[in-house]
Structure 1
Amino acid sequence: MSKTGRISGLFFFLLIGLATFQANAQDTGEDELGAWYMYFGMNRISDDWSIHSEAQFRFYETTSNFNQLLLRTGANYHISERAIATLGYAYIWTDPTFEDEPLQDAAFAGNSIDEHRIFQQFLLYNQVGKFKFEHRYRLEQRFLSQEFSANTTVTDTQHRARYRLQITYPLGDTFFINWYDEVFINLQSPIFGQNRLYLALGAKLNASTSIQAGFLKNSFTGADFNRLQLGVFFNPDLRKKDVQS
């Protein structure tokens, strides 16, 4: 095994150990170690446009108590190699029985919640030495509904702003470390929504595919949740190639 492989393997086991320790160290109701299983895709269809595709399966525990399904898509306009603008839509189904997020409206404490979400996003990229930086700015319009009976449905509309700083550092040609911090700001009361702090080890499998295994600490006012994350990233180039005769 190469030196990079040994370092990466050690890093992975330390990461999992840290996550387990964090989960066991708490003695409150948030001490369950959950998991998010994720797929992300950027499907390039022209020089200027690509299609975002995404699916996330979130569990309150690592393999049980299914908590949330998130499906997201959008149209990306590539302004340049360092800037991308996106308009998109997401559907989110949540079982609040083992909710990650403390509900901000007590009326939503009960049956499953359906959310239709429109979002606008702007990505900026830059690099300093080997460190690659990604700045993500996102606005969301959230339309939530919850049916309690055939004649009773509670609805709500919320607005939110998000900013994520992500840093990637390569460990040779295959492995890399990925870190980010993302803050959620509500555009209604309460102002602070949540903060997500993430650290992962990634591996580039080929030109279009990579995987990541990491640990996420999801913090709310008065509550913290620990989540393992396993992600697959697939970014195929679907542009037609010119055929030389």
Structure 2
Amino acid sequence: MNKTILAGALLLALVGAAPSARAQAPLNPVQPWGSWVILTAQLPGSTEHRWGGYVEAQGRSNALARQFFYYELKGGVSFDIDPNFTFLVGGGRYSTSDYKDLDAGPLNTEKRLWEQLVLTQYSKRLKLEHRYRIEQRWFSFRDDSSSFRQRFRYRLNAFFPLNKKTITTGTLFLSAYDEIFLNPRGPVFERNRVYGGVGYQFTKHLIAQLGYVNQANYNYKTADGQFILQNTAAKNNLVLAVTYKFSHRAVPPGQERLPSQQD
């Protein structure tokens, strides 16, 4: 009799736990690998010509080379305060759609303005770049609503040339960065982006990089004050970035400029 009661109690416990088990399903379901393509034309500043700038087009897909859903067009004007310290003002337009129904138009479009400072550190081999950015963002949604947000970003980017001590023509190099995105209105820690890749500088103008980026968005869990990943977070992407660099005539042919991605 005791065994029957115990078995019944165990069965009831399992049935009662089933909804809870379903509720505890992973917050981050497995997603397909996405892809980013970044095309950039850049005019870096120099000691003799401190003004520079860039324009860029970028597209993203939910899966590898298919299910396109996002593009951005942007550009900026830069000024070299000194060889290791650059200020830039940029702006762009960003559009996000539902890849299952592109004909319905964008889910939202964003117009963005930003100001940034970039500090570079050169050693015999390892190169480091610190980028600080403040963004102003205006959103227009499909339902005719709109909103304004601000965001702060910090990126630490490292470069390591493999076959030379500097990154110039004919250099094979490694690149890696981590960038955090902060929202002053909360949740404060909004996004984290981690990248690793390999690049090659074909000429003084043409550079290509192939890499991997993991981008995770974060929510604020009010129950215990801990950050948790959103359902759409932690997506892996393959990234192809091609940069064409113009150069001022007075720039020495061997002068090193880091092949930073402008995104």
For the aligned pair, the TM-score class normalised by the smaller chain equals 0.7 to 0.9
Q: Deviations over 1:108-133 (max 9, x none)?
A: xx952110000001111012330000
Q: Deviations over 1:169-208 (max 9, x none)?
A: 0011421000000000012121111101100010110112
Distance in 2 (CA, whole Å) between partners of 1:96 and 1:116 is 19
Contact in 1 for aligned 2:28/2:234 (Cα 8 Å): no
| Structure with more of its chain in strand, by fraction | 1
Query: What is residue 167 of structure 2 aligned with on the other side?
Result: none
Q: Which has the higher contact order (CA 8 A, sep 6+)?
A: 1
Q: 1:41: how far off?
A: 2.8
Distance in 1 (CA, whole Å) between partners of 2:162 and 2:44 is 26
- What is the SS of the residue equivalent to 2:142? strand
Residue of 177, 181, 205 corresponding to 1:180 = 177
Which structure 2 residues correspond to residues 173-212 of structure 1 after superposition, within 5 A?
173=164, 174-212=171-209
Counterpart check, 1:138 vs 2:148? no
Which structure 2 residues correspond to residues 44-59 of structure 1 after superposition, within 5 A?
44=44, 47-59=49-61
Query: What is residue 89 of structure 1 aligned with on the other side?
Result: 91
Counterpart check, 1:39 vs 2:39? yes
Contact in 2 for aligned 1:44/1:239 (Cα 8 Å): no
Give 5+ residue unaligned stretches, structure 2: 1-25, 165-170, 219-228, 252-263
- Shift in alpha-carbon separation, 1:199–1:91, aligned structure 2, 3 A: same
Residue of 111, 124, 127 corresponding to 2:122 = 127
- What is the SS of the residue equivalent to 1:189? coil
- Shift in alpha-carbon separation, 1:141–1:131, aligned structure 2, 3 A: same
Contact in 1 for aligned 2:49/2:248 (Cα 8 Å): no
Give the aligned residue type for 1:165. Answer: L
Distance in 1 (CA, whole Å) between partners of 2:130 and 2:27 is 35
Distance in 2 (CA, whole Å) between partners of 1:61 and 1:168 is 28
Q: 1:28: how far off?
A: 5.0
Query: What is residue 14 of structure 2 aligned with on the other side?
Result: none
CA RMSD of aligned residues (A): 2.2
The alignment of Structure 1 onto Structure 2 pairs a total of residues equal to: 201
Q: Percent of aligned positions with the same letter in both sequences?
A: 28
Give the aligned residue type for 1:185. Answer: L
Contact in 2 for aligned 1:202/1:213 (Cα 8 Å): yes
Distance in 1 (CA, whole Å) between partners of 2:93 and 2:201 is 29
Residue of 214, 239, 255 corresponding to 1:229 = 239
TM-score, normalization by structure 2: 0.71
Give the aligned residue type for 1:74. Answer: G
Counterpart check, 1:160 vs 2:157? no
Q: Deviations over 1:66-116 (max 9, x none)?
A: 121111111101111101100111110111568xxxxxxxxxxx9521100
Give 5+ residue unaligned stretches, structure 1: 1-25, 99-109
